[in-house]
Each structure stands twice: as structure tokens, then as C-alpha cells.
Amino acid sequence: MPRPIASDHGFSLVELMVVVLIIGVLVTMAIAVYATSIDRASRIACGHNQRAVERSIEIYRVDNGSANPTSIDDLVPYVDGGPDGTWCPSDPTVRLILIPVSHTVTCPLHP
């Protein structure tokens, strides 16, 4: 006589909880990696802006008879990104700072 086929009644509560737990762990890891990637990208973009402004110091000196710029505003026409190139990409309220003595540019958020 053939054996009766067992019927499938779906997932148990424990199995469902394990799946939800695994998905939660994966989502948590993905969020952490995403946040780290965003922070790294903003640091890199800010570094590029700083170097672009530092390169514009030499152009400013050539155009102004070897005079050094006194503020970041003096360099806005010489920066490739225009006025946006003198701000930190990760926070548009933070402006890059020109250090006139050393002719370097720094960011308060990404020194």
C-alpha cells in the first residue's frame, strides 16, 4: 500500500524569526558600509577641492604680480569649480580656510 504524502503547512515561527534575524544583520552591515563609503567619498571630494584651491593660488600670484591672496574670496574666480569649489562638499555651510602664511588650504571638517 502506498504511503500517504505529508502535507506542507508552511514555515514555523522559529524559522521565520531566524530569517528575519539574518535579514536584519545583513541590513545593519549594509548600512554601516554605506555610511563609511559616504564619509570616505566626502573626504576625498573635500581633498580635491582643497588641492584645486591651492593650485589656484599660483594662478592668482601670476595674475597679480606675485601678490599673495589674503582670503579665500580672492581665489573664487581662479577655482575650477567656481564658488562651489571653496566649500566642503559634505557640509555646504562649511567653507574652506586659506592659511596665508603657508599658502595652504584646510577644511574644518577634514583637516
Q: Is residue 66 part of a domain?
A: yes
pTM over 0.85: no
Q: Is residue 43 part of a domain?
A: yes
Domain holding 98, by residue range, is 16-106
Percent of the chain predicted with pLDDT > 70: 91
Query: DSSP characters for the chain?
Result: -PPPPPPP----HHHHHHHHHHHHHHHHHHHHHHHHHHHHHHHHHHHHHHHHHHHHHHHHHHHTTTPPPSSGGGGGGGSTTGGGGGB-TT-TT-B-EEETTTTEEE-SS--
Q: Is residue 30 part of a domain?
A: yes
At residue 34, the pLDDT reads 95
Q: Is residue 44 part of a domain?
A: yes
Q: Is residue 1 part of a domain?
A: no
Number of domains, the chain: 1
Q: Is residue 11 part of a domain?
A: no
Q: Is residue 2 part of a domain?
A: no
Q: Is residue 4 part of a domain?
A: no
pLDDT by residue (tens digit) across 81-98? 667 778 888 888 888 888
